[in-house]
Amino acid sequence: MNRHLRKAAAAALAVGALVALSGCVGSGSAPAAGGGADSLTIWHAYAGQADKVEFMKWAMDGFKKEHPEAKIKEVSAEQSSYKTKLQTAMSTGDAPDVFYTLPGGFLDAFVKSGQVADLDDALAEDGWGDSFIPAAMDSVTFDDSTYAVPIDIDAAVVWYNKALFEKKGWTTPKTWDEFVQLSEKIAADGIVPVALGNKDSWPATFWFQYGQMRTEGSGLVTDFLNGGKIALDAKGAEPLQTLAQKKLLPTGANGMSDQEANLLFLNGQAAMVLNGTWQIGMSADAPAGFELGYFPFPTVAAGKGDQTDTLAGVAAAFAISEKAKDKKLATEFLQYMTSPDVMKKYVELRKTMVTLKGATTPDVAGPVLSGIVSDIIEPAGHLDPFYDTALPPKATTVYYSTLQGLIEGSVDAQQAVDAINEAISAGK
Q: What is the pLDDT of residues 92-108, one digit of tens each?
A: 999 999 999 988 878 98
Which segment, 138-142, 228-232, 266-270, 314-318, is predicted with the most confidence on average? 266-270
Query: What is the rounded CA–CA span in Å between residue 101 and residue 316?
Result: 6
Q: Is the pTM of this model over 0.95?
A: no
Q: Which amino acid is at 232?
A: L
- pLDDT (mean) for 128-143: 92
Question: Lowest mean pLDDT: which of 63-77, 322-336, 347-361?
Answer: 347-361
What pLDDT score does 78 carry? 87
Query: What is the rounded CA–CA span in Å between residue 64 and residue 69?
Result: 8
pLDDT over 50 (residue 22): no
Give the confidence band of 288 by pLDDT, cuts at 50, 70, 90.
very high
Q: Are 160 and 295 in contact (CB under 8 A)?
A: yes
- Please choose, from the candidates 324, 329, 322, the residue with its C-alpha nearest in 3D space to the C-alpha of residue 35: 324
What pLDDT score does 350 carry? 86
Give the confidence band of 325 by pLDDT, cuts at 50, 70, 90.
very high
Can you list the positions of beta strands (E) in 60-188?
Answer: 71-77, 98-101, 141-142, 145-146, 148-161
Query: What is the rounded CA–CA span in Å between residue 158 and residue 277?
Result: 10
Q: Which residue has the higher pLDDT, 325 or 388?
A: 325
Alpha helices in 92-190 (DSSP H): 105-112, 120-124, 162-168, 176-188
Q: Are 114 and 322 in contact (CB under 8 A)?
A: yes
Query: What is the rounded CA–CA span in Å between residue 58 and residue 346?
Result: 10
Query: What is the rounded CA–CA span in Å between residue 156 and residue 81?
Result: 27
Q: Are 233 and 212 in contact (CB under 8 A)?
A: yes
Q: Are 111 and 147 in contact (CB under 8 A)?
A: yes
What pLDDT score does 1 carry? 43
The mean of the pLDDT values for the chain is 89
Q: What is the pLDDT of residues 185-242, one digit of tens each?
A: 999 999 999 999 999 999 999 999 999 999 999 999 988 887 899 999 999 999 999 9
pLDDT over 90 (residue 421): yes
Can you list the positions of beta strands (E) in 321-375?
Answer: 353-354
CA distances from 355 to 99, 160, 415 (A): 18, 25, 38
What distance lies between CA 33 and its chain's CA centroid?
28
What distance lies between CA 289 and its chain's CA centroid?
30
Query: What is the rounded CA–CA span in Å between residue 232 and residue 418?
Result: 8
Q: What angle do CA 280, 345, 34 make, to 5 degrees?
A: 115
Query: What is the rounded CA–CA span in Å between residue 294 and residue 419?
Result: 33
Q: Are 375 and 355 in contact (CB under 8 A)?
A: no
Q: Is 201 left (phi over 0), alpha (psi -120 to 50) or beta?
A: left
Residues 6+ apart with CB under 8 A from 233: 212, 215, 216, 417
